[in-house]
Amino acid sequence: MSMTLPHFADAESFRAFRSATSRWLPIALDIARSHELDAGSPHVFATGTNLVVGLADKLILKIFPPLLRAQFLSERASLTQLAGRLSLPIPEIVAEGTRDGWPYIIITRLAGTLGSEVWPSLPEDQRERLLRQIGETIAAVQRAPLGELAHIEPRWDAFMRSQMQGCRARHARLGLAPKFLAGLDDFLRDAAKLIPMDAPPVILIGEYIPENFLLACNDGQWSLKGLFDFGDVLAGWRDYDLLGPSAFMAAGRPGRVKSLLEGFGYAKLDFELKRRLMALMLLHRASDLNRHICIAGWQDKANDLAELQDLIWPG
């Protein structure tokens, strides 16, 4: 068996390689042993973008293909910059290096239960409580200085303009209903005014969703216990990070929306904020409204984008 990581010209070839665990797990374990780390009881994480394996329940090894080197740079810079600056635990860097042109990072494994395993069964008051904590966490991350992340690509203004240019084609391709596509040009015209392009940037994680945080239960109360996955970090306008919890967790419930925004620092939800959030949701790098808005039957409850923004952010 080859102990060399191959070169891939496209993401599809890499995904096929990632799914064939037997082709790369021995290399991952060899990397761990090269750092004199315990490679026993490995656990392969099947989901995610890169090659990820747990080592002895204490560490995580993430190996990035060269075509996703930007994610490695983002993860390393984010963990370095946020170390010691949050009350919420994040992974610590144990080792890093390169194997056959593939960068890798070894980080500590956080304790807790994956948010996606707990969130669906939580009572409403605990969901609101957690969303307030998520809002507070987003604000805390954004108070941290940028450091190396000030130079991360793409730059916010270039990123937003690129997203605006491709927005209509993207949502048409993803099957957004014509009644919503009809109002898209108006939103794109407003977006340039509503979304600050040159305001002082902050750290944007991009995906505050249940799959990327850990929870712990104490006396029947669930709380945030850890935050991980920093491979898609940007530096830009602060409201961008409200989109993940708004779409995947708040689900148009007034109490949840209020808790999230108050935790973040917004005391008032006015028309301008709603419209800016709707514009940003349409422009998010992973935007796919049909898959990501977790409100049952929302396509039939709104006749256009203006009604949709009131459905997602009521109040």
The mean of the pLDDT values for the chain is: 95
What integer pLDDT is reported at residue 39 of this predicted model?
Answer: 87
What integer pLDDT is reported at residue 226 of this predicted model?
Answer: 96
pLDDT tens digits along 265-283: 999 999 999 999 999 999 9
CA distance 298 to 6: 45
pLDDT tens digits along 9-47: 899 999 999 999 999 999 999 999 999 999 888 999 988
- In 228-274 the beta strands, taken as DSSP E runs, fall at 234-236
Confidence of residue 218 (pLDDT cuts 50, 70, 90): very high
Tokens standing for residue 182: 């009809």
Continuous segment of H or E residues that includes residue 292:
helix 289-292
pLDDT at 57 over 90: no
Residue with tokens 């730059």: 155
What integer pLDDT is reported at residue 1 of this predicted model?
Answer: 54
Contact 225, 86 (CB under 8 A): no
Confidence of residue 81 (pLDDT cuts 50, 70, 90): very high
Tokens standing for residue 299: 């396509």
What integer pLDDT is reported at residue 304 of this predicted model?
Answer: 96
Contact 263, 132 (CB under 8 A): yes
CB atoms within 10 A of CB 209: 21
Q: What's the average model confidence in pLDDT over 243-260?
A: 96
Q: What's the average model confidence in pLDDT over 296-307?
A: 96
Nearest to 235 by CA among 137, 135, 170, 158: 158
Contact 113, 216 (CB under 8 A): yes
What integer pLDDT is reported at residue 2 of this predicted model?
Answer: 63
pLDDT at 312 over 60: yes
pLDDT at 263 over 70: yes
Q: What's the average model confidence in pLDDT over 242-257?
A: 96
pLDDT tens digits along 99-143: 999 999 999 999 999 999 999 999 999 999 999 999 999 999 999
Tokens standing for residue 148: 């190396």
Contact 202, 238 (CB under 8 A): yes
Question: Percentage of the chain surpassing pLDDT 90?
Answer: 90
Contact 37, 59 (CB under 8 A): yes
Confidence of residue 210 (pLDDT cuts 50, 70, 90): very high
Q: What's the average model confidence in pLDDT over 247-262?
A: 97
